[in-house]
């Protein structure tokens, strides 16, 4: 029975990774040039997409990677999940361990109260970021096609540079399951 469960688990992991790789392989918006401010964003965790908007008009869609535990809402520090809910871009940093980043205002009051009620910390330091600074070019395909962060939202270095340039301060970001 354990052997069957293990085989099913491997098939599931393989198909999820393959599905994300296929989305990235057929992704056509990567080279669309952004030329207007991004004033809101929506993340669809289930499809690994970040959609950006200017005055309610779609600007561009990005394929993303999430926390290693991609299903479910981040609830406590160290759970490796990406938050869900309404947040804001509250910081910008080019001096980062992950190329460049945009800070997400996690935890909000509800996140902190939930964690405290369970005797835990909510955690923090959730970002939209690029690749780790000291990565090799050979690792980029793996980073683009798997969920590998500690709970952050990851894009390529080129994409985070573009977002860094065009996302306005305090931009709302809605993160959906």
Domain extent for 40: 2-176
Kindly report, residue by residue over 141-150, the tens digit of the pLDDT. Answer: 778 889 999 9
What pLDDT sits at residue 81?
96
Burial of residue 64 (CB within 10 Å: 0-12, 13-18, 19+) is buried
Nearest to 145 by CA among 48, 12, 16, 20: 20
Lowest mean pLDDT among 33-37, 108-112, 125-129, 163-167: 33-37
Give the CATH number, domain containing residue 110. Answer: 2.40.440.10
Q: In what order do the strands lie in the sheet with 172-176?
A: 57-63, 49-54, 40-44, 172-176, 85-93, 101-104, 127-129, 153-154
Kindly report, residue by residue over 4-25, the tens digit of the pLDDT. Answer: 433 333 344 444 444 455 555 5
Domain count along the chain: 1
What pLDDT sits at residue 61?
95
For the chain, where are the alpha helices, taking DSSP H only?
Answer: 2-25, 109-117, 140-145, 157-166
């Amino acid at each position: 029975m354990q052997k069957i469960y293990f085989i099913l688990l491997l098939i599931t992991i393989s198909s999820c990774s393959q599905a994300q790789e296929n989305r990235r392989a057929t992704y056509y918006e990567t080279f669309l040039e952004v030329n207007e401010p991004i004033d809101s964003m929506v993340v669809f965790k289930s499809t690994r997409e970040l959609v950006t908007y200017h005055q309610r008009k779609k600007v561009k869609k990005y394929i993303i990677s999430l926390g290693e535990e991609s299903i479910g809402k981040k609830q406590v520090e160290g759970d490796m999940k990406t938050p869900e809910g309404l947040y804001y871009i509250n910081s910008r940093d080019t001096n980062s361990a992950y190329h460049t980043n945009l800070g997400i205002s996690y935890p909000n009051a509800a996140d902190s109260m939930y964690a405290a009620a369970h005797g835990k910390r909510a955690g923090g330091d959730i970002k939209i970021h690029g690749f780790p600074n000291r990565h090799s070019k050979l690792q980029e395909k793996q980073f683009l096609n798997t969920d590998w962060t500690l709970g952050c939202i990851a894009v390529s270095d080129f994409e985070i540079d573009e977002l860094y340039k065009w996302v306005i301060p305090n931009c709302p970001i809605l993160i959906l399951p």
